[in-house]
Chains A and B, each alone.
Chain A
Amino acid sequence: MAPAAQFEAAQPPKDAISSLVFSPFASRRMLVSSWDKNVYLYEVADGAEEANLVGTFTHRAPVMDVCFGADDNEAFLAGMDHQVNRLNLTTGEQTVMSTHGAPVRCVVYSSEHSLLISASWDSTLHVHSTRNPSQKPLSIPLPGKPHALAASPTKLVVAMTARLVHIYDLPTLTSTLSSPNPQQPPQPWQQRESSLKFLTRAVACMPNDAGYSTSSIEGRVAVEWFEDSAESQARKYAFKCHRQAAPEEEGGGDVVYPVNALAFHPVYGTFASGGGDGTVALWDAEAKRRMRQYQKFPESVAALAFSSDGRFLAIGVSPGFETGMEDYSGEGRTKVFVRELGETEAKGKGAK
């Protein structure tokens, strides 16, 4: 088997990467949002081992998150300026979808339900129906600041401070929105406490709608299932990763890195984790095994995404923000790598 190829995108963002997503459609477009206030649109070339910059869209404040909308030419971005914007990738035109009371941390779009959901540090979720753009967004108060957001075909997982995890049912949100007078904000479908003891860093949902995984700042990843049966809940587990043995001279022990990024493979259901140690690992959630660990990247892994066909894994790296940093800049050290996976590289072996 030919060794898998890895290449670097030309013209990487000028500052740290906040998010990176592949188009959920057949194309190989990839959006990267950055702290340098830009959204970058790349396209992985057909056949050639390169990813080219197709467009750059400048926002007025750092962009915290980005996602694709209803098609390849629509995107939504979450801004430090409290705004959620719709971005037309053909014209570059931006329209404000909603305004929060604090910077917007995450934004996701559920194409199944035509819902745009944004989470902000003002501790609210805003839910829009893109079928009815003129309608005011539904605001759902949260018990804590959200840090990560992910949607599966029917569920929405919100991870907050104080290890809170709320799971919303997307069809319920749709029906609440479409009811003539949404008086009461919908209750979460499930309220959970994170299986991890530390601040949640990332959430990703299984493509088969069965569950999700979360990661924390303390080098750990948890895998859980939605189904609320004792059996299903007994299946959940967590494991340590993204740690390095400290040199003996420094007292030994482990240096523990945050796990900044999680992404499920759309076809095989395995998932990748990216950590502050600059490594990316592929895990088989069923078999509870690590399948691969890739050689270290030059900086902390900030974001990860699989292409819709699962052939490519994009890895955004920027310097990690560590405890005690007074200043920070991702300038010149931010890069986007794309790894073309071998046929079975991300295929799990199934439960053992």
Chain B
Amino acid sequence: MGKKKRGHPDVEELLSRPWCYYCERDFEDLKLLISHQKAKHFKCDRCGKRLNTAGGLSVHMNQVHKENLTTVENALPNRQGLDIEIFGMEGVPEDIIQQHNQRIIQNFYTAQAERQAATGNPPRGLSGGQGPAKKLKYETPEELKKRLADHRAKVAAQKAAGVSGVPVAAAPADGQSPAQGASPFPPPQPGYPYPVPGAVPPYPAAQTYPPTTAAFPPGAAPPAGATAPFPLPARPPSGPAAAAGAPPYFYNGGAGGAPPPGYPGGGAPSTVDELVANAARQGAGGDDIDQMIRLAEAGIKPGAGRNAADEAGAGEKRKKGSRMVYGDTEVSPEEKMAMLPRYRWVEGAAA
């Protein structure tokens, strides 16, 4: 996908992205936004016709289906109203725009601060002008060690739980090597979704990665910096339109490799905390402890990935045998209700 791959878009770039009033998602360009709105918010649930606006859908429902549209589908709870006519970015109230921009800015600086805290790098030249990091968080060696210890515990727990079938133990063993200086190329970060299937290599086993940065030739890695989480990582993709309309949100459902663990679309449900933790870990680029942590992760990932894939497979199976709300093929719901004390009739009790 010949997209520009500059790592962290600067705040202006983010602010200039068109976004959807109904669900606050942002898009590469206006065309995508409009097609998103037609598919997600202005689509008739009776006949599938896509209208251009909520008003149009309302008229359609009224005339074709003799029904009244009351809410916009898939909208955030406070944005379901039909009173505002939205088309693309047109019609969005000024105060909502302000609110959105503020959110974007805040997310941007939060993410930037996190990145800086994690990497210890100064702000990039591009963004340096507008966003001097006010609180640069450096991790002390103690903190790093603690994180390592935590991580080891986690790995051990996972191993104990049988999640990992590969020799993860190798990675912690290498972990004693001291930090060496930042690598100029952050290695590929398996947890982070890429739209390019080839960019997510299926990690065969931990030991194929020698604990040196050389294992990650810069050319094979996605361009540096492109890997940091976009400031809105927590929104799960919803539906095929999401996949088609917004490549940055990666949604290939396990094709071309295991779905990245920790990603909400994957099989394993992940908490926000986990996401944040993952993001923090991914954001950490450069020294050997992180490198080692990533290696350990890489060791785990194929196992975890397989699990996720298995779960996805199970999902496929379930798809065929869909879930019945009432499944008893011999006894009717009424008979079951009749047996409840609430309704049961006992001869003689009331006679």
Interface residues of A (CB under 8 A from B): 1, 3-4, 16, 18, 35, 60-62, 64, 79-82, 103, 105, 121, 145, 147, 161-162, 198-199, 201, 217-219, 243, 246, 248-249, 251-258, 276, 292-295, 320-323, 325, 327-329, 342, 345
Contacts and interface: CB of A to CB of B under 8 A. Distances in A.
B310 to A, nearest CB: 12
A253 B334 contact: no
Given A258-B333, A292-B65, A251 B345 contact: no
B320 interface: yes
A329 B322 CA distance: 27
B228 to A, nearest CB: 26
Contacts of A294: 67
B345 A80 contact: yes
Contact of B315 (A162, A252, A258, A321): A252
B332 interface: yes
Contacts of B236: 249
A258 B343 contact: no
Contact of B328 (A256, A293, A323): A323
Contacts of A35: 337, 343
B62 interface: yes
Contact of B66 (A201, A321, A345): A345
B46 interface: yes
Given A251-B315, A253-B320, A323 B327 contact: yes
Contacts, number: 125
Interface residues on B, range: 35 or more
Interface of B: 46, 62, 65-68, 236, 238-239, 265, 269, 314-316, 318-338, 340, 342-345, 347, 350-351
A254 B325 contact: no
A342 B239 CA distance: 36
Nearest to A242: B325
Contacts of A217: 324, 326-329, 333
Contact of B325 (A199, A322, A342): A322
A61 B344 CA distance: 8
Nearest to A216: B329
Given A257-B325, A321-B337, A323-B327, A342 B345 contact: no
25 contacts: A4-B66, A62-B343, A62-B345, A80-B344, A82-B345, A82-B347, A103-B345, A199-B329, A199-B332, A201-B332, A246-B323, A251-B318, A251-B319, A252-B318, A253-B319, A253-B321, A253-B322, A258-B324, A258-B333, A276-B325, A292-B65, A292-B66, A321-B326, A321-B333, A321-B336
Interface of A, helix, strand, loop or mixed by DSSP: loop
Contacts of A246: 322-323
A254 B322 contact: yes
A320 B65 CA distance: 26
Contact of B332 (A4, A61, A147): A147
Contacts of A345: 66
B238 A3 contact: no
Nearest to B62: A3
B325 A293 contact: no
B68 A243 contact: no
Contacts of B269: 249
A318 B328 CA distance: 20
B184 to A, nearest CB: 39
B66 A253 contact: no
Contact of B324 (A162, A252, A256): A256
Contacts of A105: 334
Given A82-B345, A323-B328, A121 B323 contact: no
Contact of B326 (A60, A162, A323, A329): A323
B323 to A, nearest CB: 5
B345 A323 contact: no
Contact of A198 (B238, B322, B329): B329
A327 B351 CA distance: 26
A25 B344 CA distance: 34
Q: Which of B318, B327, B330 has the most CB of A within 10 A?
A: B327
A313 B67 CA distance: 15
A198 B345 CA distance: 28
Contacts of B350: 60-61, 81
Contacts of B334: 18, 64, 105, 147, 321
A297 B129 CA distance: 55
Contacts of B326: 217, 257-258, 276, 320-323
